[in-house]
Structure 1
Amino acid sequence: MLYVAGGGTGGHFFPALALIECLLEREIPCKFVGAERGIERKLSHLLPVEGKFLKVYPFFGRSPVEKLRSLYSIFSSSLFLLPKLERKDVSIIFGGYASLPLGLASVLRGTPLFLHEQNSIPSTTNQLLSRFAKRVFVSFEYSKKFFPKEKVVKTGLPVRRALIDGLKLSKEQARALLNLSDKPTLLVMGGSQGAVFLNNLAFEIFKKTDFQGVHITGEKDYERFKDAYKNMPVLVLPFTENMGLIYRACDLALSRAGASTITELSLYGVPALFVPFPHAIRDHQYYNAKEIEGLGGGLVIRQEEAELNTVLKLLEKILSNREEFSKAITRFADQNPCEKILNSLQEFLPRY
């Protein structure tokens, strides 16, 4: 059996889900492990395999009492998983607190362990476990230096089948399905949790310009902006599972800089102005975005510098050179990341 763990946020869950889809296409049996409190529990209907959701809690950025609860939950969950693992099983984890119990249980059981690091600066979970892992798969060049050189394989980030299928649509078809016109279209999104700062900034942008827009607010802000946009050419959504349709319809994006977001934008050739989440652990979103800026596929601005007029000028710079930016960002998307991962796993899965 192959166990896949990843969750807490969409950035950890969706790549894990994408890999599971690839495994099932090749008839490789697998199970998923995540956190009861993570986004993966809410989106469990997307899982095509059995899922186990553990009562495990995050550690970083918490109070001393919450940290103690986190440590207890991680170790107790690891002990819960330990008897379920057999020595011939294989585990691959996608980082974050939701992955740590499976990682620890795999180390204790002595089963082959693989890691996938989505971001440019790795999670503490992956750094802790990397010394025990057979391979460490990465998405960004920058993250290679944090792991033993002989273990690192740059695969890129697995992307869900639904997103790949969306590439078959033309921009005209996508806009027709969304009832959008042929005006320049700006996508605004703050990741799976939304982003209050970006939401407020986006509203000011749409008030001041003639941009057509798609604004994914997150559920907390949806009601507030749904009413505010009534007389503006902006499609407002709390969340959508049909991101391929959205990406295909848009010309440029204003977004945070999570690894999944960057990978999906690059797949569709949508250049972006990135405003990295300033409180991301180890400032990893900033370094994610800087790698794209280095390729010429987007621009980066710190949140504290993201004043309306400055942002408008940067968006206009991207739009006026959109073809060059679009071509550059597509260079980030690795071809067949799942195939590269499975090639490394194959020798440990002889029965498949």
Structure 2
Amino acid sequence: MNKISPRIIIGSGGTGGHIYTGLAIADELKKKIPKVNILFIGSKNHMEMQEIPKLGYKIESIYISGGKNKFFSMRFFILTMELIYSYFLVKKILDKFSPDLVIGTGGYVSFPTLYVAGRRKIPILLQEQNSFPGCTNRIFSRYAKKICISYEEANKYFPKEKTVITGNPVRSVILENFPSKDKACNHLGLNIHKPIILSLGGSQGSNKINQTWMKGLKKLIHLDIQLIWQVGKKDIHELRKNMISHHKNFVLMNYIENISVCYAAADIIVSRAGALTISEICLIGKPCILIPYPWSSDDHQNKNAKIMKEKKAALIIKNDEIENKLVDTTIQLLNDSKRKKIISTNNLRLGKPNATKDIINEILQII
């Protein structure tokens, strides 16, 4: 292997959490080893095929859609065919690229890549974002040289001798040049003197959260509360048809590109309980309300949220409570300075600002 220009594959995709974890690792690798050759492998027709090339990285596609599959169902049969086809695609990619290391950030998209790497005895590093590890990382932990975890609670699922707690790698844009609240509000066209909510529905958005905000917009206008609202691709056009959503207090976005600006402007954050988003919130120390997505793989969002609740670092609203609790609970927290301070202090304590660098150090030891 050429130590000056190692060749590294990152299996990453399916959700924003897996994608941005992979990108954070890639960005830090480029800083440490400018001549490193990085190739991503993702799933065709998923968001990684657009997001990763935007940041200047090469990506090869495989065909795998994932999801929960019952044995002997048609969906299970389709997934099996996708895995077999993806296995041969990955073999070709690895033959051509000849990696020195394969990194898996979890999720079904990285499964075929890790499988081929394991069979060829190519060194593997796993990064696990959640408190309860996903199936892919649990399966391939036996083949990995190193496993970087984010929660101490995940320790018991992996071999102790090769597991290290690093935290989740976070995009450098969140840590570097984080804007002031004043600049962020100016950029978004919001009033710094009025309260601001940031609502994140996950990379695809949440129809249930969107519909509940829609019903509560008149109340927000009456109280002069501003809302930065990530609604997702499916609902953006429908919501923009409603005139009330065009009020000066509301900023609607399909997908948030300038997340650091939105974080900086917000007084509180309402979000799904994805591991990467939680890690980002803990780094910036903002009061938050988490709404775990109940159908996440292995129920990991509920488990992530439970830890935050136990450490008094977030308020939790269950998915079936959204309609009854979302608007009023958010307004109550906005008006409760003492509680906001407690939540901010506790989630700041959980932040791991050196996570990406610590993961890179583990990679450097392997290569």
TM (norm. structure 1) is: 0.92
* Contact 2:213–2:327 (Cα < 8 Å) also in 1: no
Equivalence for 1:78:
87
Matches of 2:278 and 2:360, distance apart in 1: 23
Cα RMSD over matched residues? 2.0
Which amino acid is the alignment partner of residue 339 of structure 1?
K
1:79–1:105 contact (8 Å) kept in structure 2: no
2:90/2:116 contact within 8 Å kept:
yes
Tell me whether 18-27 or 202-211 shows the greater mean CA deviation: 202-211
Structure 2 equivalent of residue 11 of structure 1:
17
1:194 matched to which residue of 2?
205
Cα distance in 2, alignment partners of residues 88 and 193 from structure 1: 32
Question: CA separation of 1:255/1:59 partners in 2, compared to 1, >3 Å: closer, same or farther?
Answer: closer
1:283 aligns to 2:289 (yes or no): no
SS, match of residue 204 in structure 1: helix
Contact in 2 for aligned 1:18/1:161 (Cα 8 Å):
yes
- The one-letter amino acid paired with 1:305 is E
Work out which of the residue numbers 280, 287, 311 in structure 2 matches 1:271: 287
* Aligned mates of 1:59, 1:270 — CA distance in 2: 32
1:69 equivalent to 2:78? Answer yes
Does structure 2 retain, via aligned residues, the 8 Å contact 1:187–1:253?
yes
| More off after superposition, 38-47 vs 282-291 | 38-47
Q: Equivalents in 1 of 2:333, 2:252: separation in Å?
A: 25
> What is the correspondence of 1:1-352 to structure 2 with a 5 Å cutoff?
1-26=7-32, 27=34, 28-61=36-69, 64-82=73-91, 84-85=94-95, 89-167=100-178, 169-181=179-191, 182-209=193-220, 210=223, 211-228=225-242, 229-231=245-247, 233-309=249-325, 312-313=328-329, 315-317=331-333, 319-320=335-336, 321-349=339-367
Q: Distance in 1 between matches of 2:257 and 2:330?
A: 29
- Measured against aligned partners, the alpha-carbon deviations of 1:212-255 in whole angstroms (never above 9, x if no partner) come to 11010001111222233123611111112110000100011121
Cα distance change, pair 64–251 in 1 and its aligned pair in 2 (3 A): same
Q: Residue type of the partner of 2:152? A: E
The number of residues matched between the two structures is 348
The question of whether the paired residues in 1 share the 8 Å contact of 2:62 and 2:89 is answered with: no
Conserved 8 A contact 2:11-2:105: yes
Q: Is the Cα–Cα contact under 8 Å of residues 209 and 322 in structure 2 kept in the other structure?
A: no
Instruction: Note if contact 2:267-2:334 (Cα within 8 Å) is conserved in structure 1.
Output: no
Counterpart-to-counterpart distance in 1, 2:330 and 2:256: 27
- CA change 1:247–1:289 in 2 (3 A) is same
Question: Does the CA-based 8 Å contact 1:57-1:69 persist in structure 2?
Answer: no
Cα contact 1:272–1:318 (8 A) shared by 2 = no
Amino acid at match of 1:176: N
Matched residue type, 2:212: L
Residue 330 of structure 1: how far off its partner (Å): 1.6
Q: 1:134 to 1:35 in 2, by over 3 A?
A: same
- Matches of 2:326 and 2:139, distance apart in 1: 40
Comparing 83-92 with 10-19, greater Cα deviation is found at 83-92
Query: Matched residues in 1 for 2:233 and 2:127: separation?
Result: 28
CA distance in 2, matches of 1:303, 1:179: 31
CA contact (8 A) 2:24 2:170 kept: yes
Query: What is the rounded CA distance, in whole Å, between the counterparts of 2:311 and 2:170 in structure 1?
Result: 21
Alpha-carbon shift at residue 317 of structure 1 (Å)? 3.5
> How far, CA to CA, are the matches of 2:180 and 2:248 in structure 1?
25
Q: For structure 1, which segment, 173-182 or 339-348, has the greater mean C-alpha deviation from structure 2 after superposition? A: 339-348
- Distance between the aligned counterparts of 2:272 and 2:78, measured in 1? 30
Q: Distance in 1 between matches of 2:116 and 2:55?
A: 22
Q: CA deviation at 1:343?
A: 1.5
Q: Give percent identity, aligned residues only.
A: 30
Contact 1:256 1:274 in 2 (8 A): yes
Q: What is the TM-score of this pair, normalised by structure 2?
A: 0.89
The letter of the residue matching 2:343 is F
1-structure distance, mates of 2:315, 2:331: 9
TM-fit CA distance, 1:55: 1.6
